[in-house]
Amino acid sequence: MSRNDWIQLLYIVAFSMFIIGLHMLRGPRTAVRGNQIAAVGMAVAVFATLLNRAIGDWVLIVVGVAIGTAVGVPAARSVKMTAMPQMVALFNGVGGGAVALISVVEFRSVSDIELRSLIPILFAAIIGSISFWGSNIAFLKLQEILRRGIRTPKAVNFGLLAIAVILAVIIAAGSDSEALFWLILIAAGALGVLAVVPIGGADMPVVISTLNAFTGLSAAAAGIALQNTALIVAGMLVGASGSILTKQMADAMNRSIANVFFAGVGAGGGALVAHEGGGTARSTSAADVAIQLSYARLVVVAPGYGMAVAQAQRAVADLTTELEKRGVEVLFAIHPVAGRMPGHMNVLLAEADVPYEKLKEMDDINGEFARTDVTLVIGANDVTNPAARTVPDSPIYGMPILDVDKSASVIVLKRSMASGFAGIDNPLFYDPKTAMLFGDAKTSVSDIISEVQAL
């Protein structure tokens, strides 16, 4: 066997390990091992690539890998669980950036590129650039550095896409102008920025997942250009699985993916009507809440992003333990897009040692609200907003929500009366059976715990 055959063989080993790893990521018991297998697969792929005779400057490779490791490892080690979504967005972004840069170099360094390589290179450049800039904006939004964005007219976004595609066609038709190539990257990058800037709230997970799929697709395209099977398979695996995941999330909100990007909930300018009754929200005290909770039979906790920012998950877990000691049944209602990522709440609550079986998915818990005595909404807003059921002109109309308003009483823990990330007023807060407990979620929950203990 030639050296190249060995490389190809190792690539087959590598992508098999990716597939096995992904498969194992489907169950909580096997997931850790699955992730490790995929990581070993990656090591095999890198090793195989280094066997290549055409490898040039080793020093540069070592420098690049060293910088990447020096940045990536500490970031991944130190990031707080609550900041995970941002971190994933960033890691995704740099992946897209790498694809875009590789496509530039390939275009610059190979003269007379064949069309069969050139077309995938152009595709990789466009998608990679969208993913890089889009992910960075997603990071800034999740980190709340960038608050609210202006929605650019659809025509501008389509115009940018058209510019990128037209320039790509010009290059494919024979122009070897490097300036045009950079312009493609700029147009695609601007599209990435403008498309993500206005998106917020419950839509963020869909955005990150879409960009994840994009980076995968662009990597696959780069693989075709470089004639590298490991890149093709791994990139496409991510492209396909990312698309499925995106679709599952969009389905959970009863919206199409196009709708998320072009008519989004987080629209800065949209008129957001919901509350017309003119009612006032009733505020309550930790002591009152403690009494209500302690004498309930079934309490359902509906957590949202507010719990994540306040780092309240441990306090919530402690409260659960306290209540259970008193014979109260406590369940958690997890909306598929609660928080800023699918599964965000599950991760946080698992971290705080809340047993897996207590976390109920939306479809399972919605039937339970009718027999629930108290629902404790902790920093969740849009996913509990009854306007999604009742107000046809609300931007979230039609999105499946947690039917918390069907329980006997509702307590909402919230920092202030400000509307959610999506900027929509929530009639739940004005419902006569709802009481508001204002303040930082962690402090409020701790207060409730001490009141419960004092009873």
Partner 1 sequence: MDLLTEIAILVLAAFVGFEVISKVPNTLHTPLMSGTNAIHGIVVLGGILLIGPAQGFLNDLLLVIAIAFGTINVVGGFLVTDRMLEMFKGKKPDPKEPGGEAGGERQRDR
For the annotated catalytic residues, the residue numbers are 382
Residues 220-249 that bind partner 1 (CB under 8 A): 220, 222-224, 226-245, 248-249
Kindly state whether residue 405 participates in binding partner 1, applying the rule CB under 8 A: no
The reply on whether position 359 binds partner 1 by CB under 8 A is: yes
The first and second tokens of residue 211, run together, are 């960009």
Residue number with CB closer to partner 1 (171 or 290): 171
186 alpha-carbon distance from chain centroid: 25
303 binds partner 1 (CB under 8 A): no
Q: What φ, ψ does residue 152 adopt, rounded to 5°? A: -80, 150
Contact between 189 and partner 1 by CB under 8 A: the answer reads no
Q: Report d(CA 66, CA 56) in Å as an integer.
A: 17
In the 8-state DSSP scheme, what is residue 311? Answer: T
Single out the residue of 10, 13, 49, 143 in contact with partner 1 (rule: CB under 8 A): 49
Give the residue among 269, 138, 309 at the shortest CA–CA distance from 209.
138
Shortest separation between residue 188's beta carbon and partner 1, angstroms? 16
**Is the distance from CB of 437 to CB of 287 less than 8 angstroms?**
no
Q: Give Cβ neighbours of residue 265 (< 8 Å, ≥ 6 apart).
A: 200, 201, 202, 203, 382, 395, 396, 422, 424
Tell me if 303 sits within 8 A of 378, measured CB to CB: yes
The DSSP code for 298 is E
Q: Determine if 206 is a binding residue for partner 1 (CB under 8 A).
A: no
Asked if residue 55 binds partner 1 (CB under 8 A), the reply is yes
Cβ-contact 438, 416 below 8 angstroms? yes
Nearer residue to partner 1 within complex by CB, 49 or 409:
49
Q: Is residue 292 involved in binding partner 1 (CB under 8 A)?
A: no
Q: Which one among 355, 371, 390, 393 touches partner 1, defined by CB under 8 A? A: 355
Question: In sequence order, what DSSP letters do the residues of 103-157 get, joined into one string?
Answer: HHHHHHH-SS--HHHHHHHHHHHHHHHHHHHHHHHHHHHHTTSS---PPPPHHHH
Q: Which is nearer to partner 1, 200 or 336 (CB)?
A: 336
Our finding on whether 105 is near partner 1 (CB under 8 A) is: yes
Interface with partner 1 (CB under 8 A), residue total: 114
Rank residues 126 and 272 by Cβ distance to partner 1 and give the closer one. Answer: 126
In terms of CB distance, is 169 or 244 closer to partner 1?
A: 244
Binding residues among 67-96 for partner 1 as defined by CB under 8 A:
67-69, 71-73, 75-77, 79-81, 84-85, 87-88, 91-92, 94-95
Find the part of the chain contacting partner 1 (CB under 8 A) among 41-49, 256-264, 272-280, 287-295.
Answer: 41-49
